[in-house]
Structure 1
Amino acid sequence: MRKLLESTSKRAIRYLEELESRNVAPSTEAVINLAQFDELLPEDSTNPELVLQLLDEIGSPGTMAMAGSRFFGLVTGGSLPVTLAANWLAGAWDQNSGMAHITPATAFLEQVALDWLLDLLHLPSECGGAFVTGATVANFTALAAARHAVLDRVGWNVEADGLFGAPPITVVVGEEVHPSLLKALGLLGFGRDRVVKVPVDSQGRMRPEAIPSVTSPAIVCTQVGNVNTGACDPVGDICERNRTPGVWVHVDGAFGLWAAACPSLAYLTHGVEQADSWATDAHKWLNVPYDSGLAFVRNADVLKASMAVSASYLPTLSDRRNPSDYTPEFSRRARGVEVWAALRSLGRSGVADLVERTCSHARHFAREIQAAGYQILNDVVLNQVLVSFGDAEMTLRAIAQIQAEGTCWCGSTVWQGQTAMRISVSSWATTDEDVERSIAAILHIAKK
């Protein structure tokens, strides 16, 4: 075992060290070579060293360099070294982190990390929390708690009786709602098309005055961090307009909620603490390994009521927090360990610096590209930059050539009817030099 793990760690370290010198996207040849994995299931056992050799020699070249410093295609950061190391150690622990009595270390670390997160993000200290896979499941978890609460208020036990015959729930979203939230609503039985959509402004922010008057039971879903522009809904104003009992306000803050941890950007999240639930990702701006979503619910008992189950073979202790009482899963890895490691390593100032630094990089991208004569389509308030190189055809052609050239990797999107290149800066590893190299490559290709 020692020989295998040491060999694997050397391969992983070499992969990370070579990211700086390779193209961000895998080569066509590397992608074609992945077909070597497509073989019949072997009849006999294979030496584990050979298995890892195949993974590394065929798989590694076929990966996108998301762990590197110049991947700007998604709102995701490469893993901080301390969080990757914590991930390796927690993997060796192999703890099924559902019950505190059975896995005390990981359950305790999760509770500590939860308390730190509430403090860092300026959320109510009494919140319950769940460590889940990503923003889709974080939204699902928080909205399941919302469903429980608003139906319980009108005398309906949704966990026992389901939605058949239940009082209808009005669900309000903005026109720029993220598809992951709609997916969560669909999974919960609300329907993706039965929602009330509210108009947004030119940056994608929900207009509070356009929200229709709703009565119990109802759920209003807001957004902090539009996936294209980075804009944040005025959550405080929306909460003030929806203080009716039985109306729940949820915040989808997949990446934008982390602005609350940065003093210079916290104004964008004004009023989020007035909401009833929140969802975010740690594998975005906190830069921990996939997958790591977070759900917070103001009333911890409501979250527990919507998630907890019991069985005779599962020992519980009333004086300890059982993680599985707050999540959809029983069997789950110890995600809280990596979050704890990130927060313990960075501290409050380190998280703030990570957020501010990446947003500063985004502003630099926008200034230089605009100065070169190309259009920036959004107000760059966070880490998102939308670029138009002309009409849709010209913009898409530029994006394809930028991706193929390999210095950096940016994706395409359509923003309010206009095709654009989206630059998302979220990685701890991105330096000023990375930004300058990427700008030079982008402008060189665009001018052609």
Structure 2
Amino acid sequence: MINFVTEVRIAARNLKRNRNRTLIGVLTIACGLIAYLLAGGFIEWIFESMRESTIRSQLGHVQIVRPGYMEKGIADPYNFLLPAKSIEFEKIKDFPEVVSVAQRLAFSGLISHGETTISFIGEGIEPDKEEVISSHIHIRSGSNVSIADQREVLLGSGLAKKLGVNPGDTVVLLVTAANGTPNAIEAKVSGAFVTAVKEFDDNALRLPIEISRKLMRVQGSTSWVLLLNDTTQTLQTVTRLRSTLPITNFEAIPWSDLADFYNKTVVLFGKQINLMRAIIAIIIVLTISNTQTMSVLERTTEIGTILATGLHRSGILRMFILEGALIGSIGGVFGIFLGFGIAEILSLIGIPMPPAPGMDTGFTAQILVTPRLAVHALVLAIATTLIASAVPAWKASRMNIVNALRCNQ
């Protein structure tokens, strides 16, 4: 009985017998994986960039709200207010993974400048804490709001453009306060910001939370926003918060439950990368299947001789399967190393990208080859070569010994 190591050595020697055919198979797999890694790495970079931008410009890693706020509080936020000061808020600040906790007050109304009046969605923020949490908000002109009780407003770039205002201009905010009465204030435009979401930039503004509370005639906040050391800690922190905070008064929501645009983008790009994976798999299967079929035809007499000497048909089957697995493994490792190297070079150079739809500024992209992507590539290479080798290997193992011995006579 031949042991497994010997079978692998025999399979490797068989591959050396026709180096050109083996090389074509290895290069086909390697090139397919390079294309997969570069495309997948580009999408992974987009995912990471969009994820961090969404977290660090709008949502934070975790939001704490009153139970039912997400279902009913959007239309009636002031019946779901969190306290301005509480023991729970102080406890959260002491979590080791929490970088910052900030209160926000959501509101909406009309903003006017000159003869132009437009609806807006507003956020009352704590400027000092939001400077850390909203680090991915880019100030296009002017400056961020910086003083807690100063009447200044930071506008989304699209909203500022609609109003035709510049930093230093004065606007009027008109709202319906929590008690149902109208209220209005004048505020100076401190600047305009840009995020990765154009719809948000076209409608949003930010005020110091103390001014927002006076405007809406309320105390407290609609949400507490947490920024963590690392995004991977989100679910662990949410679990801890849900076990620590009273469920009747507080609800902890991870950013992923709030990022609808990001989630839809992941689904869309995920379908594209799955399609590409399928195309690469088909190419590898066809190429390796052809390679193995030619190998079986050329070695028909040899197969008959081996069977005649007493080797079981399962041994022939394993021999060709192992040859396919070796081609897949060598091509997979080679392709992963080359793909990773090319990705690193392209990332160092940078990939200039045009502005996204609706945006007016481009960006420089990179390629992020993650360990998960590399493992998927290696599995793709080995699995497809095994599938491609199965039919030729089965045919080789089912050969009639007498006919095989007569093949080239």
TM normalised by structure 2 equals: 0.24
Q: Which has the higher contact order (CA 8 A, sep 6+)?
A: 2
**Where is the strand percentage greater, Structure 1 or Structure 2?**
2
**Highest CA radius of gyration, 1 or 2?**
2
The structure whose residues are more often helix, as a share, is: 2
